[in-house]
Amino acid sequence: MHDTTPQFQALYESMLTFVNTCMSGHDPSHNPAHVHRVVALANIILDAERALHPNTDYDGAVVKLAALLHDIGDRKYLHTLTAEGENETLEPTTMVRHALVKHGAPVNLASKVQTVVSHVSYSTETKNPSAIRQLIDNERLIELAIVQDADRLDAIGAIGIGRTFTFLGAQGTKFLVDGKWEMNNSIEHFGEKLELLEGMMKTETGRKMAQERTERLRIFRGWWEEEMELISASRV
């Protein structure tokens, strides 16, 4: 199914409504607005990569649908998902494929989107980086590279900073590190994960876009440390 056909447009619109419904109650770090930004970023990367590699065949339908559905089945939010009226099986490894087929997607498209969605996350990649390389380099699932980069761009820069603290607040006392619910937990997350994302970008376009946003994380962390040092220096 080509992403310029009316059939694709109808499928996309229908999945957009599905995503907006499923995720409407999520906190602003992982809500529909986040998904819409990731879709826009994926489209930007797709266009730029197509211009850079005119002989490569990119499946635009997979990029757009996987970007749209990339957080359906996210284990952090699985318990909050409200399936559309029916008693859906909330099984993260198949729920995207099921939903797509139910909304009229061809099975091969639905399966390819499910594979991308199942391998987008940072934690999935850090557990088994070679599985991701295998999919992208050997099986030529280049759409995964694009959606991963788009999702990670939304985790860095000013937007990433806002999302990190919003998530801290929204998680409540579930977000305890060493028994503490403190903003420093979020700042540690910068060095442990966010500032590493630039080095894990898979597309030339994504890597380039990540540079400035990563610099913003570093500047912000510098401000933070300066403000905190002033405080600790003044304590006797």
Do residues 63 and 2 lie in contact, with contact meaning Cβ atoms separated by under 8 Å? no
Q: Least distance from C-beta 37 to a second copy, angstroms? A: 5
Give whichever of 58 and 119 is closer to a second copy, judged by the CB atom: 58
Distance CA 113, CA 3 (A): 13
Q: Least distance from C-beta 162 to a second copy, angstroms? A: 5
Give whichever of 88 and 215 is closer to a second copy, judged by the CB atom: 215
Give whichever of 25 and 104 is closer to a second copy, judged by the CB atom: 25
Give whichever of 117 and 161 is closer to a second copy, judged by the CB atom: 161
Give whichever of 106 and 169 is closer to a second copy, judged by the CB atom: 169
Q: Least distance from C-beta 212 to a second copy, angstroms? A: 9
Q: Least distance from C-beta 129 to a second copy, angstroms? A: 28
Residues near a second copy (CB under 8 A)? 25, 27-29, 31, 33, 36-37, 40-41, 43-44, 157-159, 161-173, 181-183, 186-187, 213, 216, 219-220, 223-224, 227-228, 230-232, 234-235
Q: Least distance from C-beta 123 to a second copy, angstroms? A: 20
